[in-house]
Amino acid sequence: MTKRRIAGYVVVIAAVLGLAVGIGIGAGAGWSREGSAQGRSDACFEADVGLAIKSSLDKLDACSRLLRDRRLTSKLRADALAQRADAQLQLRRPERAVADLSEAIRLQPTDPALFGARAESYKRMGQFARAYADSERAVALAPDAPRPYLLRGQIALELGRPDQAQADAATLIRLVPNRAEGYLLRGDALLAKGQYDDAVGAFDRAVALDPTSGAAYGARAHARQMRGNLDAALADIRSAIDRQPMFALWHAYEGDILRYIGDLDGALAAFNRELVIHPDFGAALVGRALTYERKGDVAAARADFERALNHSSDIWDKAASARETARARLAALKSGAPVPVTLPAPRKAENQTSLPTPTIATASLAQPAPAPRPAAERAKPQMQGRRIALVIGNSAYRNVPALANPQKDAAAVAAALRTIGFEQVTLSVDVDRARMAETLRTFAADAAKADWAMVYYAGHGMEVGGQNYLIPVDAKLATDRDAPTQAIALAEIMAAIDGAKKLKLVVLDACRDNPFAPAAGDSRHVVAAIGTGVSGSTVTRSAARGLGEPTLAGASLVVFAAKHGQVALDGEGGNSPFAVAFAQRIVTPGVEIDKIFRLVRDDVLEATAGRQEPYTYGSLPAREEFFFLAAR
């Protein structure tokens, strides 16, 4: 799948169930289409009794004809506008639905159902701040109705507010304790917080309350996937298919899981079933193309990527992400570079590092000598200017357990950067704070004379009070107040590369477990490190909650190995999945840097069975293209 992978499924589950969609939200509606909502369901028929609505287009036409009747009362006009908006939403025209609902709200400003419907429309448009404001209004107007809380909780998740979603789930459960929807929302909030075991428990309750619900099984499949139990996830998604065989998304999810575990023929069959139901579903086309890639059928992969790029629909709002992946994969295939090998994921991970990854061999990164080229083409690599990099790998921590791979990750990345023509690559391993600060000062002076300045860091990292910190090997962190004196702020890294003339790039493979967590019974305010903490003895590079969004200016990119709420896995083959993907992809010739990071993102998702998704902040100016390795 593409952007957000399976995480987006729980958000669309409510739409599948008919919850919080269109006009069904409101004090009178409860969990059925009654009260004011029932009036709306009849509003578009009064001018033409007996009209049978066979489709949303028929409904749209009936409501439009009714709205031409000037004798309508304000209430009936608002009802007809709401019904027409519902049809527009079903036709994937949310901006038109917003226009109708705004007029309906002008006529009936105290109707919570109208605010809820407009919130859903804004949500479909990706305007989550406006959607949230409308959901707040719906809650205020109908504080005892369950649906507005469901909608507000879903939108809160889109805005990165899982605590709010969890609070709304608690209210929903209190209002309707014997329904599954509140537990679905609670589980989705716990997933967003990285609390996968608790999320499974919430979805268990949803399954118990509604064993006929495909949504409950699909949601639990996602939680089990994020725990690394792909066999259990596959069983759940097949239960979801049994209950909703025509809900195409479940077949695509089944295809993803089968591809992750290496059952490529089974994955193709699942995607083919999906594409019979929705032939233009971009995410399924991309999923099938990725499967063809892993089978070595480049021609079939290219055909599906082309189709996803040019002909995919916006079903479930995934087409844009599918097109991004298709565009990057096509560029990589066109380059002639070999497709990186992805090892099958274990069916059940024993721990957070139970993930096979190939060890990067420096020799495999070397490119063959290019054939002679015309002078104009030979000048192309020089267009990138002078490029320098500082590569840091901290493994041998003195006051907490050591990390296995950062030192090796840093060495592999440094070798890859030298291979692609970086003029200066400084490799520093196991650095204490004093040495790290001195290295940054030296690098800042060099960056001021460079066109590109890049920092790659592998090791522990954390966020404290809105500031992101990288952790030297000698750090002693008892409370959050120690971070400024014991660690190096990301702001210092950004300042060190600020003098570069063209491109400033920071890559952080620093999302592991929090090694500075307090002992049992210790109530001190301890630091919260990058990523989501995972209990147990396994040492990974993440910790409590994710990195804060950096403030960037100019041609700047900051890349995190794992997005907020996820753990960056170390792997078992000597390198982390992120380091493997990064080192392999930057040697791809002729692919722009933004597509390179899309390839890295998708490769990491493939290698980790969807458990880790890298994230990129910042943007590059359109007037100039940037390449790690220019076309030969």
pLDDT digits (tens, 9 = 90+) for 402-442: 888 899 999 999 999 999 999 999 999 999 999 999 999 99
| Secondary structure (DSSP) of 580-607 | HHHHHHTT-TT-BHHHHHHHHHHHHHHH
Contact 141, 110 (CB under 8 A): yes
More confident position, 110 or 631: 110
Question: In what helix (H) or strand (E) does residue 118 lie, and over which residues does it extend?
Answer: helix 112-125
Instruction: Indicate the pLDDT class of residue 316, thresholds 50, 70 and 90.
Output: low
Residue 127, pLDDT above cutoff 90: yes
Q: How confident is the model at residue 7 (pLDDT cuts 50, 70, 90)?
A: very low
Mean pLDDT calculated for residue range 275-297: 94
Residue 209 contacts residue 180 (beta carbons within 8 Å): yes
Q: Give the mean pLDDT of 316-338.
A: 88
pLDDT for position 377: 40
**Each residue of 32-65: pLDDT tens digit?**
333 333 334 454 754 444 444 568 888 898 899 9
Residue 3's pLDDT is 38
pLDDT computed for residue 402 by the predictor: 85
Which H helix or E strand runs over 471? none
Tokens of 217: 């099984």
More confident: 69 or 565:
69
Which residues are within 8 A (CB) of 12 and not within 5 positions of it... i.e. 6 or more apart?
A: 249, 316
- Integer CA distances (angstroms), 101 to 16, 20, 34, 84, 112, in order: 22, 15, 19, 9, 12
The pLDDT of residue 506: 96
Confidence of residue 357 (pLDDT cuts 50, 70, 90): confident
Q: Is 566's pLDDT higher than 90?
A: no
The pair of structure tokens assigned to 342 is: 């992805």
Backbone angles phi, psi at 488, to 5 degrees: -115, 120
The per-residue pLDDT for 551 is: 57
Bridge-partner residues for 462, per DSSP?
Answer: 469, 529
| Helix, strand, coil distribution of the chain in percent, nearest 5 | 50, 10, 40
- Residue 365 or residue 225, greater confidence: 225
Residue 586 has pLDDT above 90, yes or no: yes
Looking at the chain, the whole-number percentage of residues with pLDDT higher than 90 is 60
The residue-averaged pLDDT of 453-471 equals 88
Return the percentage of the chain with pLDDT > 70, whole number. 79
Q: Is the model's pLDDT at 150 over the cut of 50?
A: yes
Query: Which residue, among 26, 24, 65, has the nearest Cα to 44 in the 3D structure?
Result: 65
Query: What's the whole-number mean pLDDT along residues 80-107?
Result: 94
pLDDT at 239 over 60: yes
Tell me what pLDDT residue 621 has: 78
17-21, 70-74, 290-294, 489-493: range with lowest mean pLDDT: 17-21
pLDDT at position 14? 40
Query: Residues 6 or more apart from 101 whose CB is under 8 A from it?
Result: 81, 82, 85, 114, 117, 118, 121
Per-residue pLDDT band for 91 (boundaries 50, 70, 90) equals confident
What's the confidence (pLDDT) of residue 23? 32
Where do runs of H (alpha helix) occur along 397-538?
406-419, 433-447, 483-486, 490-497
Q: Under a CB-based contact definition with an 8 Å cutoff, are residues 353 and 537 in contact?
A: no
* pLDDT recorded at residue 513: 55
Q: Token digits for 274?
A: 């999906």
And the tokens for 215?
Answer: 């949504």
Angle between the N-to-C axes of helices 282-295 and 264-277, in degrees from 0 to 180, rounded to the nearest 10 = 160
Q: Which of 185-199, 396-410, 546-560 has the lowest mean pLDDT?
A: 546-560
Q: Write down the pLDDT at residue 135.
A: 98
The span from the first CA to the last CA of the chain, in angstroms, equals 31
How does residue 521 score in pLDDT terms, banded at 50, 70 and 90? very low
Q: What average pLDDT score do residues 355-361 get?
A: 71
Q: What is the DSSP string of 306-336?
A: HHHHHH-B-GGG-HHHHHHHHHHHHHHHHHT
Please indicate whether residue 57 or residue 314 has the higher confidence score (pLDDT). 57
Looking at every residue in the chain, the average pLDDT score rounds to 82
pLDDT at 49: 41
pLDDT tier for residue 314 given thresholds of 50, 70 and 90: low
Mean pLDDT of 10-15: 40
Longest distance between any two alpha carbons in the chain, whole Å: 82
CB 223, CB 238: distance < 8 Å:
no
Query: pLDDT at position 568, please?
Result: 77
**Can you list the positions of beta strands (E) in 271-382?**
none
390 or 91, which is more confident: 390
**pLDDT reading at 580 higher than 80:** yes
Q: Residue 374: how many CA atoms within 13 Å on its side-chain side?
A: 2
What is residue 550's predicted lDDT score, i.e. its pLDDT? 54
Q: Which residue has the higher pLDDT, 572 or 376?
A: 572
Provide the 3-class DSSP secondary structure of residue 472: coil
Q: Look-up: residue for tokens 């380059």?
A: 335
Q: Which amino acid is at 547?
A: L
Does the pLDDT at position 559 exceed 50?
Answer: yes
